[in-house]
Amino acid sequence: MNIVEVEHLKVWDTNTGKVIIHDSSFEVKPGSCMAIVGESGSGKSVTCRAIMRLNKPGIRQSGTMLFQGEDLNQLSEPEMRRKRGKHLCMILQNGMSAFDPSCVIGVHIRETLQQHFGWNTREIERKIMNAMESVMLRHPREILNQYPHQLSGGMLQRIMIALALVLEPDLIIADEPTTALDTISQYEVVEQLIQLRERMGCSMMFISHDLGVVQKIADDVMVMKDGSIVERGSMHSVLTEPKHAYTQYLVSTRLELSNHFKALMQEDL
């Protein structure tokens, strides 16, 4: 059984009547990573927030969204809250928006873990500090006592990955987790996500506009444009034999950038 099966997902804005996602159907296999690629406004993030049921008020959705055989669209909000974090974990694009700016990181983490587990404060600290060290965050106790604005984007992303390690969810949705980071931090965060998958054996949805990043982590890929899925298949087949004109454009742009970078590197030698 697929861990996620979405059928005829439609998302629209009730204020304007605009349809954001037209008629999406896809699945995520157990233990695999499925990437969604496309330019800004293509509907990637809205699709993932629809699965989490976290789109803004005024945004409605219809269709079937099976997660481990259960239709998420049919759950009440309290039932959905129990799913989020422990079973469905989302790593956001901007680490700053994931944490409450008015309290230190440790408070947010303790509240999240106490909601899902019956651990005491000492147990929570032990588990989260071990997880933070495993994603190369030094001095975890000091970090837990800092506010989000005192930490870099890369550190906040790694804290979210560490929290996912402790929560051990069945599905991780990473929504453009490298977009706001510099190149070195991008590489480190992707490596941490790859290790997270290997360690936990969880399924993953990875959203990005960057085929180069996606190529490192995904098994399957789905290409979106203007709220519709235009192509999907294995990572290898879509990269080597893209069928849709838009996918061909994305792949050719990626190759041009790669060749340009190699040429620059050779000039420096």
Residues in the chain: 269
pLDDT-wise least confident of 21-35, 175-189, 193-207: 175-189
Predicted pLDDT at 240 = 92
In DSSP terms, which residues pair with 224 in a beta bridge? 229
Domain residue extents for the chain = 4-268
Predicted pLDDT at 206 = 95
DSSP code for 149: G
Q: 3.40.50.300, 3.30.565.10, 3.40.1790.10, 3.40.50.2300: which CATH number matches 4-268?
A: 3.40.50.300
The pLDDT tens digits for 210-223 are: 888 888 899 999 99
Predicted pLDDT at 260 = 52
Predicted pLDDT at 258 = 57
Confidence of residue 179 (pLDDT cuts 50, 70, 90): confident
267 pLDDT higher than 70: no
Among 112, 102, 188, 125, residue whose Cα is nearest residue 152: 188
Predicted pLDDT at 268 = 52
**Phi, psi of 39, deg, nearest 5:** -75, 170
Cα torsion at 24, 28, 29, 31 (round to 10°)? 170
Predicted pLDDT at 157 = 85
185 pLDDT higher than 70: yes
The pLDDT tens digits for 59-97 are: 999 999 999 999 999 999 999 998 998 899 998 877 777
Confidence of residue 257 (pLDDT cuts 50, 70, 90): low
Predicted pLDDT at 12 = 97
The pLDDT tens digits for 36-48 are: 999 888 999 999 9
165-194 residues labelled b (16+ CB within 10 A) or e (exposed) = bbbebbbbbbbbbbbbbeeebbebbbebbe
> Alpha-carbon distance 9 to 25, whole Å?
7
pLDDT-wise least confident of 6-10, 12-16, 214-218: 214-218
Answering whether pTM is above 0.85, one says yes
Among 222, 258, 204, residue whose Cα is nearest residue 38: 222
pLDDT (average), residues 243-254: 90
